[in-house]
């Protein structure tokens, strides 16, 4: 079990939310950095896809991942399906 975030630590960090948020953000970025290094080290990888529920951070993660890959010397492009979203009215109307 990862005891980095024990109940006691979370309770202590909740007294200073700015520190708690910074700690969480740093841990998140480190995890994305690890993924970027794995993707970059496999030269045969051409496409990386992210999936998840609405507002789960896919676009943010894709952006950070793309930046990390480029920092490592690779080329990365993001295509967001947010740009192709049809609202409920358009989905249910007849074309």
Q: What is the mean pLDDT of residues 29-46?
A: 88
Average of per-residue pLDDT across 76-91: 72
How do residues 67-83 score in pLDDT, each as one tens digit? Answer: 999 999 988 999 877 66
- Is residue 86 a contact partner of residue 54, using CB atoms and an 8 Å limit? no
- Provide the whole-model pTM: 0.69
Q: What is the pLDDT confidence band of residue 24, given thresholds at 50, 70 and 90?
A: confident
What is the three-class DSSP state of 7? helix
| CB proximity list for 51: less than 8 A, separation 6 or greater | 58
Asked if residue 54 lies in contact with residue 85, where contact means CB atoms within 8 angstroms, the answer is: no
Give the residue-averaged pLDDT of 18-42: 90
Q: Is the pLDDT of residue 35 over 80?
A: yes
């Amino acid at each position: 079990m990862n005891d980095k975030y024990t109940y006691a630590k979370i309770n202590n960090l909740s007294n200073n939310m700015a520190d708690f948020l910074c700690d969480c953000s740093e841990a998140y970025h480190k995890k994305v950095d690890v993924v970027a290094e794995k993707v970059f080290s496999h030269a045969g990888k051409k496409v990386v896809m992210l999936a998840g529920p609405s507002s789960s951070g896919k676009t943010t993660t894709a952006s950070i991942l793309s930046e990390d890959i480029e920092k490592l010397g690779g080329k990365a492009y993001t295509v967001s399906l947010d740009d192709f979203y049809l609202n409920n009215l358009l989905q249910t109307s007849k074309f």
